[in-house]
């Protein structure tokens, strides 16, 4: 497994997912905004829908579905890694000194649960009756939960040239990226196959970039969204590393409007085949600026790249990168249905092969339009999954596809 992807649609061979767990039950109407949720999903139904999704991937592609929890437990058997992650997780509550006390009282699997679902003062007190929690109330979090963890697309991105490890904009999600990076850098299945493009070595506080903003346009071109979650500086550094590596020749920086429905580039469009793109109507027109990074020279081990602001639309860029491009609009362009289905990520389908996608069953008008274009659409139940406001692409981290 070489941990590089040269397309968004090559036949899927392996994918990483996270089955939602107790971290979802930590959501309340009072803390949901702080934990970056708009709603409070029902965990049991959410798990059933997620299981249906992962089973459909296995049945329809034969791909291996890695589960985050299994991988995490495997790397946490290394006590040094476990201690470091636990200390990092306790920093925010100022309780780093409790890390070793937690490690000796909980099993490795329980610690994996704590790192994803969090830990409250009163829960630890059951194991540690003399706990001094300082000013913290009994129901306060010593470690906050990660309810967004089932959106596996965001903590990293695989490109034709290697891996971009995300630096998450929201503090509440940074631990997700730390977990993913720890797994990939230490798990025997992955650690020897990593070509890390980002963050740059020595950058302790790297500018933010998230996986949902990274889309492989072709073997030679990658698009990165400049969004509310991804900074221009991060795009510059990622582009520099990608161009220096040599596989990719063009990196496009796509400036997204600062609106909720354009949170990441993959909510604007997804690539379903070598000549087919699914997009939200108006999204292409809303992107008013695109910049192009190319390699100038590599001299004395110093990489120089060129940035050019393009006076053309995203559509023009896509047409140049994707010959004979066909564009399909969510809900086939009907403005009312498109707005409704975009709210539930109509444009964010997961390609499991050329013109084969998994989509939410609720986006009926988009799914019908896809089928009319000759796309095989496999549907998953979505009453609860969609409440997190992320689509099938958001929930999947493909780690191996057939080369295109």
Give catalytic residue positions.
394
Q: 302 Cβ partners below 8 Å, 6+ apart? A: none
Residue 179 Cα distances to 53, 167, 385, 393, 400, angstroms: 23, 12, 22, 20, 20
What are the φ and ψ backbone dihedral angles of 79, each rounded to 5 degrees? -60, -30
d(CA 340, CA 231): 29
379 within 8 A of 360, measured Cβ to Cβ: yes
The rounded distance, in Å, linking the Cα atoms of 313 and 355 is 25
Three-state SS string over 192-224 comes to: HHCCEEECCCCCCCCCCECHHHEEEEECCEEEE
Residue 204: CB atoms within 10 Å: 5
Q: β-strand 250-255 against 302-310: which pairing, if any?
A: unpaired
Rg (CA), the chain: 21
| Antiparallel, parallel or unpaired: β 356-360 and 376-380 | parallel
The answer to whether residues 40 and 31 touch, using CB atoms and an 8 Å cutoff, is no
Q: Report yes or no: 105 and 128 within 8 Å, Cβ to Cβ.
A: yes
Distance between CA atoms of residues 370 and 366, nearest Å:
6
3-state secondary structure of 136: coil
Q: 303-310: long-range contacts at Cβ-Cβ below 8 A with a sequence spacing of 24 or more?
A: 303/240, 303/243, 303/244, 305/236, 305/239, 305/240, 305/243, 307/236, 307/253
């Amino acid at each position: 497994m070489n941990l590089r992807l040269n397309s968004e649609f090559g036949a899927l061979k392996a994918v990483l997912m996270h089955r939602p767990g107790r971290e979802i039950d930590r959501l309340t109407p009072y803390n949901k905004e702080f934990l970056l949720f708009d709603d409070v999903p029902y965990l049991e139904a959410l798990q059933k829908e997620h299981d249906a999704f992962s089973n459909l991937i296995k049945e329809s592609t034969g791909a291996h579905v890695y589960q985050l929890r299994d991988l995490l437990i495997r790397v946490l058997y290394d006590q040094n890694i476990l201690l470091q992650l636990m200390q990092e997780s306790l920093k925010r509550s100022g309780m780093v000194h409790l890390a070793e006390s937690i490690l000796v009282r909980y099993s490795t699997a329980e610690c994996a649960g704590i790192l994803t679902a969090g830990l409250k003062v009163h829960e630890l007190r059951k194991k540690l009756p003399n706990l001094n929690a300082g000013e913290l109330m009994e129901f306060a979090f010593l470690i906050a939960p990660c309810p967004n963890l089932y959106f596996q697309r965001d903590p990293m991105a695989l490109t034709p040239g290697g891996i971009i490890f995300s630096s998450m904009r929201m503090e509440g999600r940074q631990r997700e990226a730390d977990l993913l990076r720890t797994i990939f850098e230490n798990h025997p299945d992955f650690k020897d196959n990593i070509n890390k493009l980002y963050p740059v070595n020595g950058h302790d506080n790297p500018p933010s970039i998230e996986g949902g903003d990274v889309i492989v346009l072709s073997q030679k071109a990658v698009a990165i969204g400049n969004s509310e979650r991804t900074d221009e500086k991060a795009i510059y550094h990622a582009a520099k590393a990608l161009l220096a590596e040599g596989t990719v020749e063009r990196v496009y920086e796509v400036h997204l409007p600062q609106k909720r429905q354009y949170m990441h580039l993959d909510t604007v469009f997804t690539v379903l085949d070598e000549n087919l793109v699914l997009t939200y109507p108006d999204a292409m027109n809303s992107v008013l600026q695109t910049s192009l990074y190319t390699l100038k020279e590599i001299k004395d081990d110093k990489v120089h790249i060129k940035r050019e602001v393009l006076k053309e639309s995203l559509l023009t860029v896509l047409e140049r990168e994707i010959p004979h491009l066909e564009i399909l609009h969510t809900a086939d362009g009907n403005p009312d249905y498109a707005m409704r289905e975009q709210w539930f990520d109509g444009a964010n389908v997961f390609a499991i092969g050329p013109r084969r996608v998994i989509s939410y069953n609720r986006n009926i008008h988009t799914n019908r339009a896809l089928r009319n274009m000759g796309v095989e659409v496999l549907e998953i139940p979505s009453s609860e999954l969609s409440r997190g406001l992320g689509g099938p692409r958001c929930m999947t981290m493909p780690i191996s596809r057939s080369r295109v």
